[in-house]
Amino acid sequence: MSRASKMTLLGSSLFALSTVVFVHFQQKYEQEAMHQGVIRDMEQQRVKRERQADFDMQRELEAQYKLEQTVRNGSVVEAAPGLGSGAGK
């Protein structure tokens, strides 16, 4: 085998080996990134479930309080008797 063919074989073998190594590490990196994404999604779902549970509990408490107490609408202002719109001035 001539020196040029040996160098060509060596070069193509190194290129093929480096390609395999690069693809291997690239797949590991992508797998780790996907895993981190799954962990992040699971954490977001956990927080969402906790917030929903808190919201449901607050809704139940509100319903219980409304049954136990008289709740008036605070946006309606009732005028006291005798303090009309200035009719007696």
What tokens does 55 get?
């919201």
Whether 12 maps to a domain, the answer reads: no
Q: What is the pLDDT of residue 1?
A: 86
Whether 59 maps to a domain, the answer reads: yes
Whether 42 maps to a domain, the answer reads: yes
DSSP structural state of residue 81: T
Q: What is the pLDDT of residue 73?
A: 72
Residue with tokens 């797949």: 27
The range of the structural domain enclosing residue 59 comes to: 30-67
Whether 58 maps to a domain, the answer reads: yes
Question: Which one has a higher pLDDT value, 54 or 71?
Answer: 54
- The tens digit of pLDDT for each residue in 36-49 reads 999 999 999 999 99
Average pLDDT over residues 63-79: 74
- The tens digit of pLDDT for each residue in 27-39 reads 999 999 999 999 9
Handedness of CA 20, 22, 25, 31 (dihedral sign): negative
Whether 53 maps to a domain, the answer reads: yes
Whether 52 maps to a domain, the answer reads: yes
Whether 62 maps to a domain, the answer reads: yes
If one counts the domains in the chain, the total is: 1
